Amino acid sequence: MKFETKIAMSKPDAIYVHGFNLTEDLIGNITLADMAFLGATHRRPTKEESKMLNACMVAVCEHGFTPSSISARLTYLGAPEAVQAAVAAGLLGAGSVYLGAMENAAQMLQEGWETYGQEKDVTLAATSIIQERKVKKLQVMGFGHPVHKPVDPRTPKLFALAEELGFNGIHTALMKEIHRQINKQKNKQISLNAAGAIGAVLSDMSLPFSVVKSFAVAARAVGLIAHIVEEIEAGRKNCISQKLYNHIEANTLYTNDISVK
């Protein structure tokens, strides 16, 4: 049985990744985000694509105490010999509520425009997407934030950069129109969050929604390093995960009363 891959190959004196010589073409010449782009598209990004993708990944790299960072800290508490386990645990917390929502936002925009964009009318397409999701009882993705109200500060920055770099295309316009219509329906300003902004911008970079979350996960893996280091620096007795564990233990009611019916 033969197994084939075009991703990488090695020779005694050279390593090739996606057809590029690793030491001559890639090391020292491209960023880690560029490598992610290369893996997803099979080509090196343009200068504009590199800057935009790096910005999107930096935007979601770190956001304080979230399920992913807490999971990483607690796992490190139990297995300090396996840093990779702590990072892996943190990445398992990347779901539709935290971090992974940008994939769902991108899917909503890409499939929505494909379905309702025949007339090239952004307003009509936005109305149709909102109505469809209402009928199907689906959430309109990319909106709301527990802290950033009424504006997620990352969103205008990312949209401004997208406009500067030429990635403010139809999906960004569609997301902005959906935002306008939702605000009108709710009669108040609803946050268009970073997940929604990134889902729109990466869609305008022609990245399929199925890989969008991958960039978020890669970015969060980098961010988790800081949380693990903070645990190491604090020491086992004083680290946040130990304090959290102690708090839970102290406030847990144990009982042997088991009723069998």
pLDDT digits (tens, 9 = 90+) for 3-52: 889 899 999 999 999 999 999 999 999 999 999 999 999 999 999 999 99
What is the model's pLDDT at position 259? 58
- Domains defined along the chain, listed by start: 100-210 (1.10.230.10)
pLDDT over 90 percentage in the chain:
85
What is the model's pLDDT at position 257? 62
pLDDT digits (tens, 9 = 90+) for 85-142: 999 999 998 877 777 789 999 999 999 999 999 889 999 999 999 999 999 999 999 9
Q: Report the predicted TM-score, pTM, of the whole model to 2 decimal places.
A: 0.91
Q: Percent helix, strand and coil across the chain, each rounded to 5?
A: 60, 5, 35
What is the model's pLDDT at position 9? 94
Sheet strands side by side (includes 14-17): 8-11, 14-17, 20-21
What is the model's pLDDT at position 90? 94
Contact between 128 and 122 under an 8 Å Cβ cutoff? The reply is: no
Average pLDDT, rounded, for the chain = 94
Residue 260 banded pLDDT, cuts 50, 70, 90: low
Q: Which two tokens stand for residue 178?
A: 């959906």
What is the model's pLDDT at position 151? 95
